[in-house]
Structure 1
Amino acid sequence: MTRTVLITGCSSGFGAAAARLFAERGWNVIATMRTPVEAFGDYPDVLVTRLDVQDRDSIRFAVQQGVKRFGRIDVVVNNAGYGLFGVFEGTARDKVQEQFDVNVFGVMDVIRETLPHFRQNHSGLYINISSGAGVFGLPMISLYNASKFALEGFSESLSYELGALGIGVKIVEPGGVLETRFGQRSGDEFSSTETPQDYNDFMAGAGAIFEALRQSRGLATSEEVAEVIYQAANDGTDQLRYVATEDIKPLIEKRRGSSECEYMAFMRERMTPQH
């Protein structure tokens, strides 16, 4: 029987690449996005439908449409998300709320809406797209870090609850990727912040750090990340975390493989802007 995957955030980036990959490999795909576009016309088994993770009615409608079209859903990929960039003090509270509404509460609402279906089928798998920023902190993205740390903790805890019901939870952790719109939205959000001038030197130094990180390691493509998502959906294991890009592996290994003192000394040396 052909399996069905529902993916959020399919207008570009990881979501669009994953939707194409799953379709090419014989899956039914419910490709959801805030503003539907006909981007998958060459794939007859792709249903494009609206789903805004900040709109619970749209989540419910997308799930209903998917089940109506394909009969069931086997895997949900929670991919929709974005990142606030800038210092905490310069970010308005409503933007902080939105960061969590999209990256955390939106994921929870998609899971809440699909869990009864999975329980009825006694099977199902959630793949939550996190980030290297869900493992280690970086300057200028404290709020994005906070949302992805929350997602990681929620996903790990949920995996124990749902594992008892035959339902899986997995986390995919990508780093920098060449051609997504993620950076564009982050830049647009940053332009609307009002940062005190006391941070000017820090921000200039932090910007240099990010540029050095980009140049020091080759960035992946969305298609490469989609391959990892597909692997997580098909490998039949109970592995929880998948590191999806090479650029963040050294930092993740340092975070998970060294003492707290060693890790913090390593990060402060590299992540504290020089004046």
Structure 2
Amino acid sequence: MSPSNPSTPAKTVLITGCSSGFGETAARLFAARGWNVIATMRDPARDPGLVALDTVQVVRLDVQDRDSIAAAVEAGLRRFGRIDTLVNNAGFGLFGVFEATPVAKITEQFEVNVFGVMDVTRAILPHFRANGAGTIINISSGAGAFGLPLMSLYCASKFALEGYSEALSFELASVGVTVKLVEPGGVTSTNFGPRSGTEAGGQADLADYRPFVAKLDAFFEGWRNSLAGTTPDGVAEVIYTAATDGTNQLRYVATDDIKPLIAARRETSEEAYMNLMRERFMPK
């Protein structure tokens, strides 16, 4: 797709979590397609080179710091005058046994994946309402549609994000604002997996769960190894489509690996779906 018509004012997108992964890739794609980009990240010192792009502004935004959220929105408006689209991308995953996960990490999971999204959204809504237009794209996950063992807390945060986004879409339609969800599955070449592994490393080791955890580790390792061709580029294209297709479509499934489970969850009976998941994940 070619860049925007030079005679048409460039649109502006604010994206959270741009230091790597989906955020960085989406920022580069939007800029290449003629958009202004407010690329935010917790630590701008970790900027992967986005600041060198003419239409990209790199700004500090930590979704757990409301002052930084307000400052980032204000900085973007000062430079570009208007924001048309918000991509709530920042997030991380906890991986491991629920019982072994410290309460502080559970709190952080929801502060980043749910409350952070809400706070960034709340900060930009007055601007969108004043314009009578705007698009909010929340990056969910297949784990927001189906539950996976050893990912109960990540699933809980993404299920919450899905319900919040769906309900919010009805409210905001009344003021001209569209809400969308992009649902990726497992993707290589991001730091999401390594951070999830680091978080899991801080958990207690409960011996009773070891055989089950060992079995699931082998399953997920095989799944990861099957994803060699799945990269952030395809997800960034889906994010861009959600921002520009002019529809009120709510959900976009972004990677092929989760489509069978999404179909089982949404297109079959509860009994058929649960039988499928139990066959894969229940102890024998």
Same fold? TM cut 0.5? yes
- Gaps in structure 1 of 5+ consecutive residues: none
Q: Which residue of 2 aligns with 1:35?
A: 43
Q: Is the 8 A contact 1:206 1:273 kept in 2?
A: no
Computed over aligned residues only, the root mean square deviation of the Cα atoms, in angstroms, reads 1.0
Q: Is the 8 A contact 1:206 1:272 kept in 2?
A: no
Instruction: Tell me the CA shift for residue 141 of structure 1.
Output: 0.3
Q: Is the 8 A contact 1:156 1:240 kept in 2?
A: yes
**Of 9, 17, 39, which aligns to 2:25?**
17
- 2:155 maps to 1:157: no
SS, match of residue 271 in structure 2: helix
**Of 107, 130, 133, which aligns to 2:143?**
133
- 2:16 maps to 1:8: yes
TM superposition score normalised by structure 2: 0.94
**What percent identity do the matched residue pairs reach?**
64
Matches within 5 A, 1:106-255: 106-216=116-226, 218-255=228-265
Instruction: Tell me the CA shift for residue 273 of structure 1.
Output: 4.2
The number of equivalent residue pairs is 274
How far apart are the structure 1 equivalents of 2:149 and 2:162?
19
Q: Is the 8 A contact 1:75 1:127 kept in 2?
A: yes
Assess, with a 3 A threshold, how the Cα gap between structure 1 residues 262 and 218 changes in structure 2: closer, same or farther: farther
CA deviations 1:40-99 (Å, max 9, x no partner) are 144111000000000000000000000000001000000000000001000011110000
CA deviations 1:220-246 (Å, max 9, x no partner) are 111110000000000000000000000
How far apart are the structure 2 equivalents of 1:27 and 1:216?
34
- Gaps in structure 2 of 5+ consecutive residues: 1-8
How far apart are the structure 1 equivalents of 2:55 and 2:281?
46
How far apart are the structure 2 equivalents of 1:264 and 1:107?
30
CA deviations 1:100-129 (Å, max 9, x no partner) are 000000000000100000000100000000
SS, match of residue 57 in structure 2: strand
